[in-house]
Structure 1
Amino acid sequence: MQQSGTLYIVATPIGNLDDASPRLKTVLSRVDAIACEDTRHSGRFLQHLGIQKPLLSLHEHNEDQRLPALLGRLQGGESLALISDAGTPLLSDPGYPLVRAAVAAGIPLSPIPGPNAAIAALSVSGLPPEPFRFLGFPPRQGGARRKWFQTLAKVPDTLLFYESIHRLGATLADLAEAMGGERPAMVGRELTKRHEQLRHGSLDSLAEWAATASEAKKGEAVIVVGGWSGAPSEEASLDVDALLKALDAELPPRKVATVAAQVTGLNKNALYQRLMERRQD
């Protein structure tokens, strides 16, 4: 019986290419092919490293269709690497369906750790490093975003979000409204890059800065928000049904389940079923 190849989950630099580790270079030079979000972007990265390997496009729009072929190659003895455009795969990036399928198929996996924008931002935020919740990207629509933040307002954990620079000001304003303008926070912009900027302050002050400062309109951003510091109460525990109800008013069912899974850590399919049952009651 032929032995399966290994699927390597490889973290790549989030900006500064000098963060590419020697182990990353060794693994990428030895695998048979590399699955990546954008073949053009990853091609330039590999060219910088002096590595030539076949690139396989794998992104949120084709993951399901590509799974059988990728699993077939792994089961046939090939070793593959999974990378994202920047940082650690799966964290607000494609790859989870592939990793889940590889685990189910008994295919060996190996993480090649490295940069991650959320952890990098947390380390310089000056906010409690544990416990924390990484929540990915907030909903794009303003109404859903505000309701989502309201469900998180009394969570005691430090909260981490990614956000498009084009929505940064609106998101910070919504955070201030939902959690209180004096809540301590930090915005990390262009982390590890030439124009890296760390902006510490209250949510109110950060929202004002994002609305007026020219540099706040460029680059990529991570938002770190201090957790609720009030007295513990029943409100501090997340009401899953209230979250589903709030999101259901603004988003389609599948998106409701996806966002709720990010917040709660619960299974997305189970949350979808729970939402459907709520609608029938």
Structure 2
Amino acid sequence: MSKLEAGVLYVVATAIGDNDDLSPRAKATLQAVSMIAAEDTRDAGRLLRELGITTPTTAVHDHNEAERVPMLIERMLAGESLALISDAGTPLISDPGYRVVAAAHEAGIRVSPVPGACAAIAALSAAGLASDRFHFEGFLSAKAGPRESRLQALAQTPHSLIFYEAPHRIVDTLAAMTSVFGEQRLATLARELTKTFETIKRAPLAELLAWVEADSNQQRGEMVIVVAGAPALAVNDQHSITAEALLAVLVRELPVKQAAAIAAEVLGLRKNALYELAQQLREAAQ
């Protein structure tokens, strides 16, 4: 790697399962910095011991991030370079660390990524679903009501959707997706990526749900679900229309509630889900 610079925050991607995926540059950076800010110092300690790295660590997570930021910024302003890592993969992707990076920018500290593995992108690359456009949703709510409401809001999104899920919720989540998106919507479950018991299965949601329910082994480990985007509604042989495209036009001229009502009537979809999508489009256009 090039020589380590002074006073830089390095955002370092680690492996998501197989430590051979850790880049030489990432390993050299972790060895050279003054301190490693880690989501969990126990997980970081195991990784560093395997790599033979003795750099000291400090815990930075959701519950202490705000109070640790000033100390980290002070050290970097004094010329020390630090690394930020998560438990696995690329930091800040459904992980803490945002406040550290934001504060570094505000303090005029250079932030440099050391790229590497990311479970969401690894799953998408092997999903066999459209990857030219995708929406990363991360973790859905653990509560059934908010989870279904969010899925309803995403139901007409025309590009692939990427979710993370905990093993004890995978059956409930796939059941909710089957109910909201439809039994025949294609999806891919990527489980334990790069690990010994990695499994990747692509199937209609109803089939995927039945497969997971029938095999308790598929209810263990780290989960990524990639769901195909909503198919366009055929208007005639030459044209098609999606809820997002229709609403994008309507919200330019009408209040959000009225736009959602008209789109629901035209497309035969639920108004509540379209209302949230219309609100997002209105906010994006402002």
Asked if TM exceeds 0.5, the reply is yes
- The structural deviation recorded for 1:164 is 0.1
Instruction: Note if contact 1:4-1:107 (Cα within 8 Å) is conserved in structure 2.
Output: no
The separation in 2 between residues aligned to 1:138 and 1:65, in whole angstroms, is 27
The answer to whether structure 1 residue 15 and structure 2 residue 17 are counterparts is yes
- The alignment's C-alpha RMSD in Å is 2.3
Instruction: Kindly provide the amino acid, as one letter, of the partner of residue 62 in structure 1.
Output: N
Q: Which of 233, 244, 264 is the aligned partner of 1:236?
A: 244
Trace 1:105-184 onto structure 2 (pairs within 5 A): 105-184=107-186
- The structural deviation recorded for 1:112 is 0.4
The separation in 2 between residues aligned to 1:40 and 1:87, in whole angstroms, is 16
Q: Which of 65, 89, 92 is the aligned partner of 1:90?
A: 92
**Which residue of structure 2 aligns with residue 200 of structure 1?**
202
The answer to whether structure 1 residue 188 and structure 2 residue 196 are counterparts is no
Trace 1:215-254 onto structure 2 (pairs within 5 A): 215-231=217-233, 233=241, 235-236=243-244
**Which residue of structure 1 aligns with residue 270 of structure 2?**
none
Instruction: Kindly provide the amino acid, as one letter, of the partner of residue 225 in structure 1.
Output: V
- The structural deviation recorded for 1:235 is 2.6
**Which residue of structure 2 aligns with residue 55 of structure 1?**
57
Change (3 A) 1:266 1:96: farther
CA deviations on 1:217-253 (whole Å, 9 max, x unpaired) are 21110000000112254632689988xxxxxxxxxxx
Instruction: Note if contact 1:117-1:222 (Cα within 8 Å) is conserved in structure 2.
Output: yes
Q: How many residues align?
A: 246
**Which residue of structure 1 aligns with residue 267 of structure 2?**
none
TM-score by length of 2: 0.81
Change (3 A) 1:169 1:17: same
Q: Which of 96, 102, 105 is the aligned partner of 1:103?
A: 105
- The structural deviation recorded for 1:105 is 1.4
- The structural deviation recorded for 1:4 is 6.3
**Which residue of structure 1 aligns with residue 48 of structure 2?**
46
Instruction: Note if contact 2:12-2:84 (Cα within 8 Å) is conserved in structure 1.
Output: yes
CA deviations on 1:115-165 (whole Å, 9 max, x unpaired) are 000000000100001200111101110111011000000000100000001
Identity %: 48
Instruction: Kindly provide the amino acid, as one letter, of the partner of residue 149 in structure 2.
Output: K
Instruction: Note if contact 1:4-1:108 (Cα within 8 Å) is conserved in structure 2.
Output: no
- In structure 1, the residue corresponding to 2:190 is in which secondary structure? strand
CA deviations on 1:163-218 (whole Å, 9 max, x unpaired) are 00110010011011111110000000000001000011011111112222121121
Instruction: Kindly provide the amino acid, as one letter, of the partner of residue 24 in structure 1.
Output: A
Q: Which of 29, 34, 37 is the aligned partner of 1:35?
A: 37
The separation in 2 between residues aligned to 1:122 and 1:20, in whole angstroms, is 19
**Which residue of structure 2 aligns with residue 26 of structure 1?**
28
**Which residue of structure 2 aligns with residue 212 of structure 1?**
214
- The structural deviation recorded for 1:265 is 11
Question: Unaligned stretches of 5+ in structure 1?
Answer: 243-259, 271-281
The separation in 1 between residues aligned to 2:241 and 2:172, in whole angstroms, is 29
Q: Which of 63, 76, 79 is the aligned partner of 1:77?
A: 79
Which one has a bigger Cα radius of gyration? 2
The separation in 2 between residues aligned to 1:162 and 1:39, in whole angstroms, is 23
Instruction: Note if contact 2:9-2:84 (Cα within 8 Å) is conserved in structure 1.
Output: yes
Instruction: Kindly provide the amino acid, as one letter, of the partner of residue 8 in structure 1.
Output: Y
CA deviations on 1:81-136 (whole Å, 9 max, x unpaired) are 00000000000011111111111111011100000000000001000012001111
